[in-house]
Amino acid sequence: MTLHRIVQTLTAGLASALLACAALAQSNYKPEYRMSLVLGPPTPWGQSGQIWADLVKERTQGRINIKLYPGVSLIQGDQTREFSAIRQGIIDMAVGSTINWSPQVKQLNLFSMPFLMPDYKAVDALTQGEVGLEIFAAIDKAGVLPLAWSENGYRELTNSKRAVRSPADLKGMKIRVVGSPLFADMFTALGANPTQMSWADAQPALASGAVDGQENPLFMFPLLKLHNLGQKFVTTWGYMADPLVFVVNKDVWSSWTPADQAIVRQAAIDAGKQGVAIARKGLVEADKPLLKEIAGFGVTVTQLSPAERDAFVKATRPVYDKWKQTIGVDLVNAAEKAIAARK
């Protein structure tokens, strides 16, 4: 046998062995992977998940099929259990909120720090820089593999009582908040009465007037018709933004071939970029068409001046200082530095 023939035979044998290994690895693949989401399409959150699932299916030629489970339905709607359920393998993958996962990963509270991020460039300076990598390391250490960032958006204030331009305007107002103690601390510092409840409970409470207001990204306003729940006043104050994180259960991840791992990671990065653009649509354009749409419902939209915003910053500074210790002084300092240096 000639040397050329020997090389040909060995190459063919190696190729066959690699194909056999890949086929064996893929025989461990599940027919379907379960992705948990709080909000489904058409929200930016749900769209981020849908784009990721579609890209993965297309790029793996159907080897990895992902089904979306919005409303955290895999854990009976309990958002606080989502992170643990991913770690335990009840959930295979997720696009999750930094707020919801902050009880398990304290560093995620960074994004809820009042008035830390004054604009979208500040958000990007954190998620796309060293701070983002440090937070990914913390998520990884907590037992879940992070792949990419997306966005749910800045949480803005709505209420049924009056235009809010100063902390005094919030005094005694009953505001629905999510279950993070940082949110309760912040609204208490502003003189409001924070009331923690699920969104399912919040809607009838807003409609009946049992609760005066709430805070959420503005894409929710027309989607949920919040003006029909008595929300006649909106204040854009940009007090915190909620980045979203694409994650995979570690056992699921290790069951995939390195080639498929690379595909899933890149698909998450690509879907995250699209998700960020969707979350900011209507708010980054000069005329802010989303604010015009909301005003069209007969709603008073208040955009704070820098001086008005500063009054809220000052009122919440003790909360900021308290939580800086909890989150980690070094991490918060690094975040402040990154934001100060943003272009």
CA angle 265–100–84, rounded 5-degree value = 70
Q: pLDDT band for position 179 (50/70/90)?
A: confident
> Model confidence over 21-77: pLDDT tens digits?
555 456 799 999 999 999 999 999 999 999 999 999 999 999 999 999 999 999 988
315 vs 189: CA distance, rounded Å: 7
Query: What is the domain extent for residue 264?
Result: 30-153+242-280
Structure tokens at 320: 């900021």
Return the pLDDT at 311: 98
pLDDT in tens, 186-201: 999 999 999 999 888 9
Among 263, 280, 297, give the residue marking a domain's end: 280
First to last CA, the chain: 65
Output the domain CATH number for residue 321: 3.40.190.170
Whether residue 15 is contained in a domain is answered as: no
Share of the chain above pLDDT 70, in %: 92
Judged against a pLDDT cut of 90, whether residue 13 lies above it is answered with no
From CA 240, how far away is CA 153, in angstroms rounded?
8
167 and 273, same domain (yes or no): no
3 state DSSP class of 339: helix
Give the least confident one: 25-34, 163-172, 321-330: 25-34
What is the pTM assigned to this prediction? 0.90
The answer to the question of residue 25 being in a domain is no
Q: How confident is the model at residue 100 (pLDDT cuts 50, 70, 90)?
A: very high
In a domain, 299, yes or no: yes
Rounded CA separation 112/115 (Å): 8
Flag whether 16 is in a domain.
no
Q: Are residue 309 and residue 250 in the same domain, yes or no?
A: no
Give tens-digit pLDDT for 168-177.
999 999 999 9
In a domain, 23, yes or no: no
Same domain? For 176 and 250 the reply is: no
For residues 339 and 241, the answer to whether their CB atoms sit within 8 Å is: no
C-alpha angle 257-128-72 in degrees, rounded to nearest 5:
65
- Do both 146 and 211 map to the same domain? no
Q: Are residues 173 and 297 in the same domain?
A: yes
65 and 87 share one domain: yes
Classified as helix, coil or strand, 216 is strand
